[in-house]
Amino acid sequence: MQPLKYLAGYPPHVLARVHALIEEGRLGAMLNERYGQLHAVRNDAQLYDYVQALKDRHLRKSVPLGKVLYDGKLQVMKHALGTHTSISRVQGDRLKASREIRIATVFRDAPAGFLKMIVVHELAHLKEAEHNKDFYRLCAHIEPDYHQLEFDTRLYLTELEMRAR
Protein backbone atom coordinates (compact mmCIF):
# COMPACT_ATOMS: atom_id res chain seq x y z
CA MET A 1 0.00 0.00 0.00
CA GLN A 2 1.22 3.47 -0.82
CA PRO A 3 1.52 5.88 2.07
CA LEU A 4 -1.15 8.57 2.01
CA LYS A 5 0.90 11.71 2.43
CA TYR A 6 -2.08 14.03 2.86
CA LEU A 7 -3.39 11.86 5.66
CA ALA A 8 -0.25 11.44 7.73
CA GLY A 9 -1.09 11.33 11.42
CA TYR A 10 -4.59 9.90 11.07
CA PRO A 11 -5.20 6.63 12.97
CA PRO A 12 -4.68 3.26 11.20
CA HIS A 13 -8.37 2.30 11.13
CA VAL A 14 -9.17 5.53 9.30
CA LEU A 15 -6.36 4.98 6.81
CA ALA A 16 -7.56 1.41 6.23
CA ARG A 17 -11.01 2.73 5.27
CA VAL A 18 -9.44 5.20 2.85
CA HIS A 19 -7.28 2.50 1.28
CA ALA A 20 -10.38 0.36 0.83
CA LEU A 21 -12.22 3.21 -0.92
CA ILE A 22 -9.24 3.71 -3.23
CA GLU A 23 -8.92 0.02 -4.04
CA GLU A 24 -12.61 -0.22 -4.83
CA GLY A 25 -12.24 2.86 -7.04
CA ARG A 26 -14.93 4.69 -5.08
CA LEU A 27 -13.09 7.65 -3.60
CA GLY A 28 -13.76 10.09 -6.44
CA ALA A 29 -17.42 9.18 -6.72
CA MET A 30 -17.94 9.50 -2.99
CA LEU A 31 -16.41 12.98 -2.93
CA ASN A 32 -18.40 14.06 -5.98
CA GLU A 33 -21.59 12.96 -4.37
CA ARG A 34 -20.89 14.80 -1.16
CA TYR A 35 -19.26 17.89 -2.66
CA GLY A 36 -20.88 18.56 -6.00
CA GLN A 37 -21.19 22.25 -5.30
CA LEU A 38 -18.49 24.44 -6.85
CA HIS A 39 -17.83 28.06 -5.96
CA ALA A 40 -17.53 31.24 -8.01
CA VAL A 41 -14.39 32.67 -6.42
CA ARG A 42 -12.38 32.82 -9.62
CA ASN A 43 -9.72 35.47 -9.09
CA ASP A 44 -7.75 37.28 -6.42
CA ALA A 45 -10.21 40.17 -6.13
CA GLN A 46 -13.10 37.78 -5.56
CA LEU A 47 -10.98 35.81 -3.13
CA TYR A 48 -10.22 38.95 -1.17
CA ASP A 49 -13.93 39.76 -0.87
CA TYR A 50 -14.72 36.21 0.15
CA VAL A 51 -12.05 36.19 2.88
CA GLN A 52 -12.98 39.66 4.07
CA ALA A 53 -16.66 38.74 4.36
CA LEU A 54 -15.86 35.73 6.52
CA LYS A 55 -13.47 37.77 8.61
CA ASP A 56 -16.09 40.49 9.15
CA ARG A 57 -18.52 37.90 10.36
CA HIS A 58 -16.22 36.02 12.74
CA LEU A 59 -12.97 37.86 13.43
CA ARG A 60 -13.86 41.49 13.10
CA LYS A 61 -11.42 42.64 15.73
CA SER A 62 -8.27 40.87 14.60
CA VAL A 63 -5.55 42.45 12.47
CA PRO A 64 -6.58 43.82 9.08
CA LEU A 65 -6.07 41.72 6.00
CA GLY A 66 -3.20 42.51 3.73
CA LYS A 67 -2.96 40.87 0.37
CA VAL A 68 -5.12 37.86 -0.38
CA LEU A 69 -4.28 35.76 -3.40
CA TYR A 70 -4.27 32.42 -5.12
CA ASP A 71 -0.72 31.16 -5.38
CA GLY A 72 0.12 28.58 -8.02
CA LYS A 73 3.56 27.99 -6.62
CA LEU A 74 2.36 27.03 -3.19
CA GLN A 75 2.99 23.41 -2.34
CA VAL A 76 -0.05 22.43 -0.41
CA MET A 77 1.48 20.11 2.15
CA LYS A 78 4.71 21.93 2.69
CA HIS A 79 2.77 24.90 3.93
CA ALA A 80 0.14 23.00 5.85
CA LEU A 81 -2.60 23.73 3.33
CA GLY A 82 -1.96 27.44 2.98
CA THR A 83 0.31 30.14 4.27
CA HIS A 84 -0.13 32.97 6.58
CA THR A 85 2.54 35.57 6.63
CA SER A 86 2.86 38.31 9.10
CA ILE A 87 4.17 41.42 7.46
CA SER A 88 5.05 44.46 9.41
CA ARG A 89 5.07 47.72 7.57
CA VAL A 90 5.88 51.14 8.78
CA GLN A 91 2.89 53.39 8.23
CA GLY A 92 3.57 56.92 9.30
CA ASP A 93 5.22 56.66 12.67
CA ARG A 94 3.45 53.46 13.65
CA LEU A 95 4.44 49.94 12.93
CA LYS A 96 1.33 48.30 11.67
CA ALA A 97 0.91 44.62 11.16
CA SER A 98 -1.12 43.33 8.28
CA ARG A 99 -1.60 39.80 7.18
CA GLU A 100 -1.13 38.27 3.81
CA ILE A 101 -3.10 35.14 2.99
CA ARG A 102 -2.11 32.89 0.11
CA ILE A 103 -4.34 30.05 -0.96
CA ALA A 104 -2.99 27.25 -3.15
CA THR A 105 -4.45 27.54 -6.65
CA VAL A 106 -5.76 23.99 -6.45
CA PHE A 107 -8.62 25.39 -4.35
CA ARG A 108 -9.82 27.63 -7.16
CA ASP A 109 -11.31 24.64 -8.91
CA ALA A 110 -12.13 22.70 -5.77
CA PRO A 111 -15.63 22.22 -4.32
CA ALA A 112 -17.01 25.16 -2.34
CA GLY A 113 -16.64 23.40 1.01
CA PHE A 114 -12.91 22.92 0.58
CA LEU A 115 -12.23 26.56 -0.25
CA LYS A 116 -14.25 27.49 2.82
CA MET A 117 -12.20 25.10 4.95
CA ILE A 118 -8.84 26.48 3.84
CA VAL A 119 -9.97 30.09 4.25
CA VAL A 120 -11.30 29.37 7.75
CA HIS A 121 -7.97 27.70 8.54
CA GLU A 122 -5.96 30.70 7.40
CA LEU A 123 -8.26 33.18 9.14
CA ALA A 124 -7.92 31.27 12.40
CA HIS A 125 -4.17 31.76 12.10
CA LEU A 126 -4.75 35.49 12.46
CA LYS A 127 -5.40 34.70 16.11
CA GLU A 128 -3.49 31.48 16.70
CA ALA A 129 -0.15 30.81 15.05
CA GLU A 130 0.08 27.19 16.17
CA HIS A 131 -2.09 24.22 15.31
CA ASN A 132 -3.14 23.82 18.91
CA LYS A 133 -6.44 23.21 20.71
CA ASP A 134 -7.46 26.86 20.67
CA PHE A 135 -6.72 27.02 16.97
CA TYR A 136 -8.99 24.09 16.12
CA ARG A 137 -11.66 25.32 18.52
CA LEU A 138 -11.70 28.61 16.65
CA CYS A 139 -11.88 26.83 13.27
CA ALA A 140 -14.86 24.80 14.46
CA HIS A 141 -16.50 27.91 15.87
CA ILE A 142 -16.29 29.68 12.51
CA GLU A 143 -17.27 26.57 10.55
CA PRO A 144 -18.98 23.85 12.62
CA ASP A 145 -18.18 21.25 9.95
CA TYR A 146 -14.49 22.19 9.93
CA HIS A 147 -12.99 18.84 10.94
CA GLN A 148 -14.97 16.85 8.40
CA LEU A 149 -14.13 19.39 5.72
CA GLU A 150 -10.43 19.25 6.50
CA PHE A 151 -10.43 15.48 6.37
CA ASP A 152 -12.36 15.42 3.12
CA THR A 153 -10.06 18.06 1.63
CA ARG A 154 -7.18 15.70 2.34
CA LEU A 155 -9.11 12.94 0.60
CA TYR A 156 -9.73 15.26 -2.33
CA LEU A 157 -6.03 16.11 -2.66
CA THR A 158 -5.22 12.41 -2.51
CA GLU A 159 -7.74 11.72 -5.26
CA LEU A 160 -6.42 14.56 -7.44
CA GLU A 161 -2.92 13.24 -7.20
CA MET A 162 -3.97 9.72 -8.13
CA ARG A 163 -5.86 11.05 -11.12
CA ALA A 164 -2.78 12.97 -12.30
CA ARG A 165 -0.62 9.87 -12.21
* Site residues, Zn ion (CB under 5 A): 80
Q: By C-beta, is 22 or 126 nearer to Zn ion?
A: 126
The minimum distance between CB 78 and Zn ion, in angstroms, equals: 12
Q: By C-beta, is 24 or 134 nearer to Zn ion?
A: 134
C-alpha torsion 142→148→153→156, nearest 10: -150
Q: By C-beta, is 80 or 162 nearer to Zn ion?
A: 80
Residue number of the CB closest to Zn ion reads: 80
The set of residues, in sequence order, having a beta carbon less than 8 Å from that of 3 and lying 6+ positions away, is none
Strands of the sheet with 94-104, listed across from one edge: 65-71, 94-104, 82-91
Cα separation, 139 vs 83, whole angstroms: 16
The minimum distance between CB 139 and Zn ion, in angstroms, equals: 9
The minimum distance between CB 74 and Zn ion, in angstroms, equals: 12
